[in-house]
Amino acid sequence: MKSRLLALAGAAALAAGALAAPTTAAAAPAPAVAAAPDIPIANVKAHLAQLQSIATANGGNRAHGQPGFRASLDYVKARLDAAGYQTTIQSFTASGATGYNLIADWPGGDANQVLMTGAHLDGVRAGAGINDNGSGSAAVLETALAVARSGYRPAKHLRFGWWGAEELGLIGSNRYVASLPAAERTKIKGYLNYDMIGSPNPGYFVYDGDNSDGVGSGPGPAGSAEIERTINGYFSGIGVPTRGTDFDGRSDYGPFIRAGIPAGGTFTGAEGRKTAAQVQLWGGQSGVAFDRCYHGSCDSSSNINDTALDRNSDSIAHAVWTLAGGA
Ligand code: DPN
Ligand code: ZN
Ligand code: CA
């Protein structure tokens, strides 16, 4: 993937050439990269309120094979359709029930250079699944809607995905990647994944794509390091320290990296407990789980740290705008 750094280095090389050969015209300015918009946290929270209402009206959950999952999918799809996305529902069978992925393409960009961003939309049966993973689903939805609102003309083609049956073992994302012909797979130049990004006792974790923190199971496909740097660049810009987290395939980026597609994303923590050292970094409660309601009945609307959700939502827009390029 062509990085902004490379583009700047190219401009510098051109400028050096211009000095050596004075007849050469002045170097063209580096191509403009549009600045990402601020993602309105109120809009992300409004999506979460809708997902909570959907769970409440459907037996308290949004799990695979349950009516709350399909209602969640219909909600996200309606918003995308109204904004001008081309949406596709991919059906599959898992554990004797029909599951669905929702794929949304934003018209335009280079069809041979796809940047995909996704989140799992299903929850477990125990509760409404608002942090896991209403948070990622809502933030990715609002980022897609921001693309539509902004008049942004990305250089790469943008695709978004909401996965079914993640909680049964990454079933939906596996089916999606497996369904792609090899030629389509190689067009996907990067995949950004958001799973649990509003944990109530949050950490600021970034998938360790280059294994620099040594907490992964080895570096991801080439290009994962650039994604990690891009995400870290957003957080350093707002003065929030990040730490690497396992790039071991415990969420829907797994099938993508196994197919050789560079990937990255953020995570605010699940059942693990925040250490005293992490409290020094980020505040919060030492010795308490990042998400005490992980896979529990209390993963409801109140199980969200708004600041974490806000920062992570803005980081998604930053990553999409930076990695897709264009103006
Ligand atoms: N994949 C997760 C779940 O849905 O339960 C939690 C998770 C996300 C764990 C990201 C580690 C990293
Ligand atoms: Zn989960
Ligand atoms: Ca790293």
The binding-site residues of ligand 1, defined as CB within 6 angstroms of any ligand atom, are: 132-133, 166-167, 195-196, 250-251, 267, 270
* Ligand 1 mutation target, pool 120, 132, 196, 256, most atoms within 8 A of CB: 196
Q: Which ligand is nearest to the CA of 120?
A: 1
- pLDDT tens by residue, 78-97: 999 999 999 999 999 999 99
pLDDT at 27 over 70: no
Q: Give Cβ neighbours of residue 292 (< 8 Å, ≥ 6 apart).
A: 200, 201, 298
- Tens of pLDDT, residue by residue over 124-146, are 999 999 999 999 999 999 999 99
Please state the φ and ψ torsions of residue 163, each to the nearest 5 degrees. Answer: -95, 145
Please provide residue 110's backbone torsions phi and psi, each rounded to the nearest 5 degrees.
Answer: -80, 110
Q: Which atom of ligand 1 is nearest to the CA of 294?
A: 5
Mean pLDDT of 101-117: 98
Q: Is 166 an annotated catalytic residue?
A: yes
In the chain, DSSP finds a helix count (H) and a strand count (E) of 10, 8
Rg of the Cα atoms in the chain = 20
Four-residue CA torsion sign, 138, 302, 274, 240: positive
Report pLDDT for 28: 61
CA distances from residue 3 to 31, 69, 230, 231, 324 in whole angstroms, order as listed: 12, 37, 9, 13, 9
Q: Give me the percent of the chain exceeding a pLDDT of 90.
A: 86
Q: What residue segments make up the domains of the chain, in order of their start?
A: 34-324
- 193 pairs with which residues across the strands? 118, 265
Domain 34-324 fold is Aminopeptidase (3.40.630)
211 vs 188, residue with greater confidence: 188
Q: Please name which of 67, 172, 75, 74 lies closest in space to residue 119, comparing C-alpha atoms.
A: 172
Ligand nearest to the Cα of 125, by number: 2
Q: Residue 1: count other Cβ atoms within 10 Å of its Cβ.
A: 17
Mean residue pLDDT of the chain comes to 92
pLDDT of residue 15: 37
